[in-house]
Amino acid sequence: MDRGTGRSTFLLTVALLLVFGGGAIGGLVQSDFGAVRVQDVRFPVADGRVMHAKLYRPNGATAEAPAPGVLAIHGYINTNETQSPYAIELARRGYVVLAVDQPGHGYSDPPAFAGGFGGPESLAYLRSLAFVDPEQVVLSGHSMGGWAVLIAAAVAPGDYTSIVVSGSSTGTFGAPEGTPTYPRNLGLVYSTYDEFSELMWGAPTGAEAPATAKMQALFGTDAPVEPGRLYGDLDAGTARQLYAPAVTHPGDHITTAGVAPVIDWVQRTTDAPYPLPASDQVWMWKEAGTAIALVGFVLALFAVAGLLLDSRAFTPLANHTAPAAGVAGFGWWLGAAIAAVIPAVTFFWAQNQTNAWLTPDRWFPQQITNGLVGWALFNGAVSLVLVLLWFAVAGRRNGARWDTLGLRVGGFFRAIAFAVAVVGSGYALLALSNGLFHTDFRFWVVAVKLLSTQQAQIALVYLLPFTAFYLVFGMVLHGQLRPRGSAGEGADAMIANALIAVGGFLVLLGVQYLALFSGRPLPFGEPLLTIVAFQLLFLMPVTAMLSTYLFQRTGSVWPGAWTNGLLVTWYVIASQATHFAG
């Protein structure tokens, strides 16, 4: 075994320990160390669609001793896993929790937004379970999931006990208007720094939402609503309480401050089988476990890539790096700044332009993915023009050739097979971990999930545009920005390229949230796409480092382009909503 193979083998060993150690932690916490059974369930609905959910059933919940039930529904472009902090905490308190994938999300059939966002049909299914007490059912939803449960409450007004919505509102996107008597016993969690305050309550910031006429009408008062004060009467079903934790919209389901109000309201309005203080929370250990597994997954990709390049099948790809002929000195800093700034500056604009003319259809059925593809192709085109101009004007003068850009022709099809093997090994690792521990690789909104059959078919259409972006991405990083006279190898180059890839988004999000945390609205608006951008803080540096490593080993941009194209397509398609049911 040579030194390179030994390093890759050691790295793979570490990666596997992280994946299975982290998965075990996540699985044990999620199941309350065996006290809660966690299983996937599917149920048909009236229009022929099939809904998917994760069911948390405490061992004490039986047909002879039914337990209170909680319907938990996530927000837009999330899945049932983002409800796991609520589900874990409520299940360990004895509640049966049904955490649903909304239509078109996760593994529920498309289209998105169908059937009242899945609220009424999910409530009916939860109440049909023999081990659920139909007289004690709480509705809980975050963001668009709040609209789902509000619609369910309107459709079946006698089928629930109370309701708690986080980062959501009445009277928005089909959710009925709230009154002092509808819905029954409402807990409202609306955070001080919620990014969607204008959409939800017509307020510039979350802190100003309690003073809006809309919220005052819901609470039956003509003064600003006071957080923590109980309005109305629990026995009469007219109770209202506002919780205002100092977190953001996605922070509602990833902070103890955001989770505690949901626990508190559910326990106050039902008979908790095993009551615990709302401050007693353990869900973060599950999140830590799946985050550890996510790190292991990334390391495994590098390790498997290294082992494959040392194997007989893929050795022909390796060790063909052409001499560096890129820009150096001030030119490198200028080029790096341009490469970092342009993707961030165009992030909102390019996606909005794409979605203005590309309506989800049979071929491109995911709206957010369409926007990301449009952004990627626009930036790829701009970068290609700039790198070719440099190549023609200055690059050739400094000795640049096509192979210095990584465009070596040999091994094209072998590079595709290599990428399939690398990403396929990561997929197999996820499938095994999911089968053993019933968890995926995730932290917060960053999630690597298994694809459904339909999502796998959708991914084939989006693969080429994402791969094209990463082809040009590689030409810029490893051709134009590989300074002449330097090796451009090792960890230094990987770190530098990761910073170039993510730097603009760090600045963009810093500007947005500096204003928000200072009590002002997001200066560029776009709350949804701002939250989407958080995922690029993971994807961009990981793909930059993977691209750099593979270029250092092969001297070609093709292995990195195909590997990153497959990886990002898988990641995005599995995590986004599908809007067309063709």
Q: Map 384-397 to HEC letters.
A: HHHHHHHHHHHHHH
CA dist 295 and 426 (Å) reads 12
- Name which of 16-30, 398-412, 448-462 the model is least confident about: 398-412
330 and 269 inside one domain:
no
Interatomic CA distance for residues 516 and 510, integer angstroms: 10
> Is 97 within the bounds of a domain?
yes
Strands (E), 95-244: 96-100, 132-142, 162-166, 186-189, 230-231, 240-243
Mean pLDDT calculated for residue range 35-49: 94
Q: Under 8 Å CB-to-CB from 235, ≥6 apart: which residues?
A: none
Instruction: Judge contact between 123 and 137, C-beta under 8 A.
Output: yes
- 106, part of any domain: yes
pLDDT of residue 391: 78
Give the phi and the psi of residue 239 in degrees, each rounded to 5: -65, 145
Do 274 and 326 reside in the same domain of the chain? Answer: no
Whether residue 385 sits in one domain with residue 263: no
* pLDDT, mean of residues 322-334: 82
* Domain assignment present for 217: yes
Cβ(49)–Cβ(109) under 8 Å?
Answer: yes
What H or E segment, with its residue span, contains residue 36?
A: strand 36-44
Measured in whole angstroms, the distance separating CA 199 from the mean position of its chain's CA atoms is: 21
Percent share of the chain, pLDDT over 70 = 98
> What 8-state DSSP symbol labels residue 156?
S
CATH for 251: 3.40.50.1820
Nearest to 67 by CA among 232, 217, 274: 274
CA–CA distance, 211 with 216 (Å, rounded to integer): 7
pLDDT tens column, 107-156: 999 999 999 999 999 999 999 999 999 999 999 999 999 999 999 999 99
What tokens appear for 408 in the block?
């070596």
Mean pLDDT of 259-287: 97
Same domain, 127 and 244: yes
User: Across residues 480-495, what is the average pLDDT?
Assistant: 76
Counting every residue written for the chain, the total comes to: 582
Boundary of a domain, candidates 245, 264, 279? 279
**Could you tell me the end-to-end alpha-carbon distance of the chain, in angstroms, rounded to an integer?**
52
The pLDDT value recorded for residue 483 is: 79
Residue 433 is assigned to a structural domain of this protein: no
Whole-angstrom Cα distance, residue 132 to residue 95?
9
The contacts of residue 200 (CB under 8 Å, 6+ apart) are: 167, 168, 169, 172, 190, 194, 209
How many domains, in total, are found in the chain?
2
Whether 488 has a pLDDT exceeding 70, the answer reads no
Task: Assess whether pLDDT exceeds 70 at residue 2.
Answer: no
| Residue bearing tokens 């506002």 | 242
Q: Look up residue 234 and give its DSSP letter.
A: T
Looking at 264, 279, 294, which one is the last position of a domain? 279
CA–CA dist 251, 234 (Å, integer):
28
Q: Are residues 159 and 253 in the same domain?
A: yes
Which residue, 211, 558, 229, is CA-closest to 402? Answer: 558
In a domain, 548, yes or no: yes
Three-class DSSP category at 47: coil
CB neighbours of 76 closer than 8 A, spacing ≥ 6? 112, 143, 144, 528, 577
Beta-bridge partners for 98: 55, 71
Task: State the pLDDT at residue 3.
Answer: 60
What are the start-end ranges of the H helices in 270-366?
A: 283-309, 330-345, 347-357
Question: Do residues 270 and 376 share a domain?
Answer: no
Q: pLDDT value at position 468? A: 96
**Mean pLDDT for the chain?**
93
Whole-number pLDDT of residue 383: 93
* 29 token code pair: 């916490």
Name the residue among 76, 98, 78 with its Cα closest to residue 86: 98
At residue 511, does pLDDT exceed 70? yes
Q: Provide CB contacts within 8 A for 194, sequence distance 6+.
A: 167, 200, 205, 206, 209, 248, 249, 252
Last residue of a domain, which of 279, 312, 332? 279
- Residue range 408-417: mean pLDDT, rounded: 85
In this structure, are 158 and 104 located in the same domain?
A: yes
565 within a domain of the structure (yes/no): yes
Instruction: Tell me which residue has tokens 């079946």.
Output: 156
Q: Are residues 104 and 155 in the same domain?
A: yes
Q: pLDDT confidence of 403, banded at 50, 70, 90?
A: confident
Q: For residue range 210-229, what is the model confidence (pLDDT) as tens digits?
A: 999 999 999 999 999 999 99
The mean pLDDT of 21-38, rounded to a whole number, is 97
Distance CA 271, CA 265 (A): 11
Q: What is the mean pLDDT of residues 285-311?
A: 96
Nearest to 119 by CA among 148, 154, 80, 139: 148
Indicate the pLDDT class of residue 390, thresholds 50, 70 and 90. confident
- Domain extent, residue 493, equals 322-408+453-575
Residue with tokens 């979350």: 206
Which amino acid, residue 503? G
10 burial (CB, 10 Å; 0-12 / 13-18 / 19+) is: exposed
Query: What is the mean predicted confidence (pLDDT) over 193-214?
Result: 97
Give the per-residue pLDDT at 395: 64
pLDDT of 349 > 90? The answer is: yes
Query: According to the model, what pLDDT value does residue 491 have?
Result: 83
Residue 487: what pLDDT? 53
Mean pLDDT of 341-366: 95
**Is residue 337's pLDDT more than 60?**
yes
**E strands of 310-450, at which residues?**
441-443, 446-448
Give a yes or no: residue 22 inside a domain.
Answer: no
Question: What percentage of the chain carries pLDDT values higher than 90?
Answer: 85
| Residue 570: pLDDT over 80 | yes
Asked whether residue 146 is domain-assigned, the answer is: yes
pLDDT of residue 482: 83
- Residue 399 scores a pLDDT above 80: no
Lowest mean pLDDT, pick from 50-64, 194-208, 306-320, 389-403 = 389-403
165 shares a domain with 51? yes
Backbone φ and ψ of 133, nearest 5°: -75, 110
CA angle 431, 435, 441 (to 5 degrees): 55
Gap between the Cα atoms of 132 and 68, Å rounded: 6
User: Of 535, 536, 511, which is closest to residue 522 (Cα–Cα)?
Assistant: 511
What pLDDT is stored for residue 55 in this prediction?
98
